[in-house]
Amino acid sequence: MERESSRQDNKGEGAYAPSPFKDMPMEMNQLGTTGLRISRLGLGLAQGKHKLTMDDFQDASDVLDVALEAGINFLDTGACYGLSEEFVGELISHRRKDYILATKCGHLVEGEEGEPWTPQTVRKSIERSLSRMKTDYLDLIQLHSCSVEVLEHGEVIAELERSQKQGLVRFLGYSGDNEAAEWAVSSGKFDTIQTSFNITDQRARWNLLKDAKAAGMGTIIKRPIGNVSWGVDKSPSTYADTYFERGKKMEGLGPLPVTFDDSLTLALGFVLSYKEVDTAIVGTRNHHHMHDNLERVKQGLHIPDDLLRELEQRFDALGSNWIQLN
């Protein structure tokens, strides 16, 4: 059954309330040397391993409305996120000038035949994303966590460059971690890097973020709140187990110099304290959580320098073998 794209038809019982942050300015950053102005807080259109289904239609509508009205203009999605791209097309394609649209390509999605990481798969993915999101261009297309070997082979990068020359995409990015992310940054082939960075996943701080900035790349942070696994009594999900275990080891080194009752404020404040970070993307299916995140960011997220340094030192002491999670 097709859904009506009219916004008024999606405002049933339980729909969102107008954002109280609509008139509060959102901090904006330049995305590397792309010339794109993006919100410091971005919206990730998938949450963990959850894939959006039609049961999430109203929730997605509310979250998108709240985010756009409050000034978030960077939307990050992917073909593998269930119906995420379809929701963008159905719900906000008529507002295309209001947001910067980033998606991902390269691997096969559920039910798709063929081989991953081929020029044909990349082209099909781009064309499918354009159709799903009802747009004739993508602001940013990102190779999605492919290996160093795929990157070195060069065929998929060449296909991205062809799509760029044809005007289907404006800028090229890589989304991933560890050695592949380092290769992408040093290659000179990409305009942006999206990588994992949070209190218990600080490896990118050592070199990756600095190298990306030195190369003029935009930096997009995924998993900035570490699946809400810092400062809690038990892991919120199996998806967060590694972050939770790391956090307990870091906390075990003794009391922190400053105590934060709100672990989300600490997590977001930590990531956004770094000038190398252009935007941090947070995913949620709940517009109330979206409101809460906006309040944190727009009211200001100041993390004292001594606390920041202490968190860095604890990771450095324990995390020499803690790879980025992808």
Residue 11: its pLDDT value, please?
Answer: 38
**CA-only gyration radius of the chain, Å:** 19
pLDDT tens per residue across span 290-301: 888 888 887 888
Q: Which two structure tokens, joined as six digits, stand for 99?
A: 């947001």
29 in a domain, yes or no?
yes
E strand residue ranges, 121-269: 138-144, 169-175, 192-196, 218-222
Residue 17: its pLDDT value, please?
Answer: 52
pLDDT confidence band for 52 (50 / 70 / 90): low
Residue 305: its pLDDT value, please?
Answer: 95
116 in a domain, yes or no?
yes
Domain count, the chain: 1
Give the other-Cβ count within 10 Å of 57's Cβ: 17
20 in a domain, yes or no?
no
Give the other-Cβ count within 10 Å of 48's Cβ: 14
pTM of the model: 0.91
12 in a domain, yes or no?
no
Place of tokens 């400053």: 258
Burial class of 201 by CB neighbour count within 10 A (0 to 12, 13 to 18, 19+): buried
Average pLDDT taken over every residue of the chain: 89
2 in a domain, yes or no?
no
Q: Which two structure tokens, joined as six digits, stand for 251?
A: 């906390």
**Mean pLDDT on 210-218:** 98
Q: Which two structure tokens, joined as six digits, stand for 60?
A: 């997605």
55 in a domain, yes or no?
yes
DSSP assigned state of 189: -
Pick from 304, 300, 297, 264: nearest CA to 40: 297
Q: List the domain range (segments joined by +) for residue 31.
A: 25-318
**Residue 200's CATH number:** 3.20.20.100
Lowest-confidence segment of 151-155, 224-228, 292-296 by average pLDDT:
292-296
Pick from 184, 176, 191, 160: nearest CA to 223: 176
Q: Which two structure tokens, joined as six digits, stand for 94?
A: 């008529």
Lowest-confidence segment of 18-22, 87-91, 112-116, 157-161 by average pLDDT:
18-22
291 in a domain, yes or no?
yes
pLDDT tens per residue across span 251-283: 999 999 998 888 999 999 999 999 999 999 998
52 in a domain, yes or no?
yes
pLDDT confidence band for 8 (50 / 70 / 90): very low
What interhelical angle do 57-69 and 287-299 show, nearest 10?
A: 20
pLDDT confidence band for 13 (50 / 70 / 90): very low
How far, in Å, CA of 285 to CA of 302, rounded?
Answer: 26
Question: By the 8 A CB rule, do 49 and 239 touch?
Answer: yes
**Mean pLDDT on 119-146:** 96
Q: For CA atoms 97, 100, 122, 93, give the dihedral sign.
A: negative
pLDDT confidence band for 10 (50 / 70 / 90): very low
pLDDT tens per residue across span 16-43: 455 555 566 789 999 999 999 999 999 9
Q: Which two structure tokens, joined as six digits, stand for 139?
A: 């602001």
Give the other-Cβ count within 10 Å of 321's Cβ: 6
pLDDT confidence band for 53 (50 / 70 / 90): low
